[in-house]
Amino acid sequence: MPTLFDPISFGSIKAASRIVMAPLTRARAGKDAVPTPLMAEYYGQRASAGLIISEAVGISRQGLGWAYATGIWNDEQVKGWKAVTDVVHEKGGKIVCQLWHMGRMVHSSVTGEQPVAPSPSTAPGHIHTYEGKASYEEARALRLDEIPGVVESYVKAARNAMKAGFDGVQIHSANGYLLDEFLRDGTNHRADAYGGSVENRLRLLREVTEAVIGEVGAEHVGVRFSPNGEVQGTVDSNPEAVFIPAAKMLNDLGVAWLELREASPASTYGVATEQPKLSPEIRKVFTRPLVLNQEYTRDEALKAVAEGRADAISFGRLYISNPDLVRRLKDDLPFQEDDMETRYGPIGAKGYTDYPFAR
């Protein structure tokens, strides 16, 4: 069996190892959602990862309600991201763009409009806006005539990502955002072709994936799921009946790889769950590289790949404070702890690009 440190191909992407940098939305952009030179430094520091999955990147103003996050719907944003991908490639790295529509998880003070979702609903908790913390607002249901425009936004974002020099894209269908909201019966109460049956709830993901594949090629496309447990108030009564068919559908469509963020009873970030992990069953129907993510330790990651339960492991928080994580994993060096106060911007370099490399 391969090891965590062996090469792997994610479709067209030839990765030097099976260590993946998970998407981390650090919020270091401006209000224009344009990537900054500081971000190029940040990603360049982490270019030794086998593959970097970028922070979640908004496909449209409607879909981006996270203050100081980045987008990829206009030329200035493409130019900003090109500076990032250039640095990563100069250092021998690979990077894909995670395509993001936040659905109901936005605020009108950021987007300029009421949030949209499969059905009217309000997310629990609070969101950070440019004016400070605010309660989530009630989302309205997307109209049928609006859905083709949402699909086209994904296509344009994928086209822009390739123009910006990314090696591929990842369709974000996890964590309680728009595509995930359509998949789960806790947030999708529609009675039309996009709601009700599992087949109908998969429809938008299918349309988006087919359209993005048509634009950039299946060999450049990955998808992310969070298949078990509640995430940001989004839940399903029978996730096994949804996500195994969804994985089979993606396999049939030919996507290059699939990433799963799996919660567990011991989850310390997000909501813990007793729902079983679905990766063993998904592995039976998805035949291309499967990437697992959920607070893996070094020993757990080594074991998961050695036993064939995963083809690669994506690491999130460890990459915040350990830009040289590949070396630390390989040589079994200690990890640095990250500063929670500086995880999200717009703080600047502190807690972002100032973590030292191991000597």
Q: Is 132 helix (H, G, I), strand (E, B) or coil?
A: strand
DSSP 146-200: GHHHHHHHHHHHHHHHHHTT-SEEEEE--TTSHHHHHH-TTT----STTSSSHHH
Torsion angle (degrees, nearest 10) of CA 311, 184, 253, 262: 0
Q: Which amino acid is at 158?
A: A
Q: Is 58 helix (H, G, I), strand (E, B) or coil?
A: strand
Q: Which amino acid is at 309?
A: R
Catalytic residue among 154, 177, 296, 355: 177
**Long-range contacts from 178-181, C-beta under 8 angstroms, 24+ separation:** 178/63, 178/101, 178/102, 178/103, 178/104, 178/116, 178/117, 178/150, 179/101, 179/103, 179/204, 179/205, 179/208, 180/103, 180/225, 180/226, 180/231, 180/234, 181/103, 181/104, 181/117, 181/118, 181/234
What is the number of other CB atoms lying within 10 angstroms of the CB of residue 92?
Answer: 9
Decide if 177 is catalytic.
yes
Q: Write out the two tokens for 206.
A: 């299918």
Which is nearest to 104 in space by CA: 261, 234, 260, 262? 234
DSSP 211-248: HHHHHH-GGGEEEEE--SS-BTTB--S-HHHHHHHHHH
First-residue to last-residue Cα distance in the chain: 31
Which residue numbers are catalytic?
Answer: 177
